[in-house]
Amino acid sequence: MHDLWSSASYEAHLLSLPFALAPAAMLIVIAYTAVMRGAPALRGWLLAHCLSLLPYAVVMMLSPSIVEGSVALVLFQAAASFIPMAAICGTAFQLTLIRKYRRFRVLIWIGVASAAAWIVVSSTTALAVSGVRRLDAGLWYANAGSGAWIALVHTVVLSIGGFLALGWVALRSRPSDERRQLRLALLANIVTYAGLIDVGLAYGIGVFPLGWLLSGIGSLLVVRALIVEDLLRVRAVDNRAPLLVVHVAAGILLGWVVLEQLGRDLPWWLLTVGLCICFGAVRASVATVDLVGRNARGGEGPLERLQAQLVARARTMTEAPLIAQLAIDIVELGIGVRASILLASAEDWGWTTETGARVDDELAPDPLLMSWLAERRSTVFADDLDPVPADLRELLSTLFERHDARAIVPVGSADELIGLVILAVEPRKLRGRTLAFLERTAERLAEALLHARMAQRAAERASLAREVELAATVQGELLPGKGPHVHGEFTVIGSWQPATRCAGDFWGVYPLGAASEGRVLIAIGDVTGHGVASAMVTAAAVGAVDVCVRRSGADLDLRELTAALDAAVRRVGGGELAMTCFAAILDAPAREVRFVSCGHTSPYLCRASDKGVELQALVGRGNPLGAGVPAAPKLLHRPIAPGDLLVWYTDGVIEAQDPAGTPFGDRKLQHLLRRLDKNRVTPAAVHDVVQASVAAHRAGHPLADDETVVVAQLAREATP
């Protein structure tokens, strides 16, 4: 047998040119369908149908140019073997088109299996095609084999069900765009299958094949249904593959004509140059036509300029309703349809119109729809809910009905749904460039809305930063400096380090009465949390202490002070914030410290002895202030002696963590105080040692909570 791929088996013939109509049309359908998005089942079966018809169309195109009958026999056997497969794939396409595929899918796959078996049998035996003969017109055609009737019956059986089902729906359904699409699909299929008339020629009836022509016309009708009537109901198309098919097909045909005219006696390199020139000429011609079609603007048409205008004008806007109204105007200018826009609230599940008016809950999209719409991004049509999950179809259908809409374009970013563009327009008016313009406009709208959100948040953060700075300044002015603060025989050193710009800790030192009376109030507190809210509570607490000290002076009662603090914290904190507090009156003449504790950490009394530094914890019982109805704290007394030193602190000190997450802890603080040099114990030294030790423990780790340390000492040479 002659080699199928040998150039000697073929000789270019002009009669092949008209036969190229069918494969060219089929390749356009294949390329167009392959680059679409959506409707995978419809596209898949249509692709399979066209690919199964393509071998016969290609063989008919090659038939006038085939030299050897043996080559023609092999090609016709292969082409004829795919006819039943084309029939069952066409039936599957028809049933999918009318949404009946699931009901008959088992039968369809049985048909696919039988068609696949026929491909093996027919292409390897003479059952369907027993030989070939050269017709008077100058081309080869097949002779029917003994089993050709089996192939014919097989094809009719596999295709009759799809035709009956499609015909019933297309002819009896109510007038609509879908019915028009189905009728055009039915017509295209009837014309294509009419190509079976060539079976008569295989039995010697007739003089010239017509099946290729009918298949080509049917394919052109399919092309029209896809492009003009939107048969597959998918709208996103990339036109690069169809243009590539046009380039290749036109280049092959032109090259074939050139070879026919030049003959085969020229050197191979000259033939190669000629073919390259042919392909270059086709490419230049198509590019020129495309450039003219785009108004010689490099692809920037009026729709693209409208989108650029949307982007440019939206940059200066920070209000979402204004941006939405601009987008509506741009859409109307671009496609001639007035849209409406729903905007999702950033704070809750609510929705507003493009004017900023609140949308009733029954008109807003159901929250269950939002995640699916955010992921989809492409346009959803009221007459095509097949891609919608079954559990969401009713919700989406209701949304269409309540807004009297035919198309909805989600406006989203990442996995967030920002808005919806709603149109009451016929789906057939949204195709190709129009639909692409609408969806790209929705993308630009999403970017503009996000930009507006970020601008608003930036302004809010700047305002908040100014408020925090003001609160921090006020708080810093309310609290005393580090000191030393000398009041009679007591020296006090204290500091606070906020975890954020504003702290929830506070401390204060207040002389009670005249300096000669030798009494000093030390108050320290810790409000839950930190930040502006906690800073407001500490300011109220400081104010309450100031008022009590000014009113009572030397007669200050600690239990009355805690009652005033509780009222202040409760009023400012609203019951949401609580405060621990430790208040102590250092009384030099009485050589004692009187104190109350409201849930605060226990300070330490450090006393030098022969054995070093002894520690005593000033333990008090009481509930935090402001959160409940605390019982009056118990007033306690503890004697002090000259040289005694007291250390107060908040829980941020002992809870400070190193990079490994280990807290500083009470035990470490106690060991630190016990190791102090009893002869060199001063408030400043103890304060700095404690603060430095905690900082070293954190090892650069940021503060997790505010840290406050206060140290007071009764003079060593205190007057009895």
pLDDT for position 300: 58
Res 8: pLDDT: 59
CATH, domain range 7-237: 1.20.1070
Q: How many Cα atoms sit within 13 Å of 72 on the Cβ side?
A: 24
pLDDT at site 10: 66
Tokens of 176: 């609509």
pLDDT given for residue 38 in this prediction: 59
For residues 569 and 593, is the Cβ–Cβ distance under 8 A? no
Tokens of 37: 């998005």
- 165: DSSP letter: H
Query: Topology of 302-455 in CATH?
Result: Beta-Lactamase (3.30.450)
Give the containing element (helix H, strand E) for 448: helix 432-478
Evaluate the CA torsion angle 461, 466, 471, 475 in order and state its sign. Answer: positive
What is the side-by-side order of every strand in the sheet holding 645-649?
A: 485-487, 490-497, 707-714, 645-649, 604-609, 612-617
Tokens of 589: 């003449």
Contact, 626 vs 598, CB < 8 A?
A: no
Say what the pLDDT of residue 290 is: 64
243: buried, middle or exposed (CB in 10 Å: 19+, 13-18, 0-12)? middle
Average pLDDT along the chain, 720 residues, taken 10 residues at a time:
58 76 81 70 84 87 83 86 90 86 88 90 87 84 86 88 87 74 82 82 80 76 66 48 62 70 66 74 71 51 79 83 88 85 80 86 83 81 81 88 88 83 77 80 87 80 66 67 86 86 82 78 86 79 88 86 88 83 91 92 88 87 78 86 92 88 90 83 89 89 87 76
Q: Match 């008022």 to its residue by tokens.
A: 547
Counts of helices then strands in the chain (DSSP H, E): 22, 18
Integer Cα distance of 306 and 312 in angstroms: 10
HSE (side-chain half, CA atoms, 13 Å) at 543: 13
Cα distance between the two ends of the chain: 130
Q: Kindly list the domain boundaries of the chain, sorted by start residue.
A: 7-237, 239-293, 302-455, 480-714
3 state DSSP class of 573: helix
Phi then psi dihedrals of residue 363, to 5 deg: -95, -15
How many other CB atoms sit within 10 Å of the CB of residue 555? 9
Gap between the Cα atoms of 151 and 158, Å rounded: 10
CATH architecture of 480-714: 4-Layer Sandwich (3.60)
- For residue 487, the SS3 value is strand
Burial of 199: CB neighbours in 10 Å, binned 0-12, 13-18, 19+: buried
pLDDT of 298 reads 45
Using CA atoms, how far apart are residues 228 and 604, in angstroms rounded to an integer? 89
* DSSP-based three-state secondary structure for 646: strand
Strand 579-587 relative to strand 416-423, pairing? unpaired
Encoded amino acid at 576, one letter? E
Cβ neighbours of residue 81 under 8 Å, at least 6 residues apart?
118, 119, 120, 121, 122, 123, 128
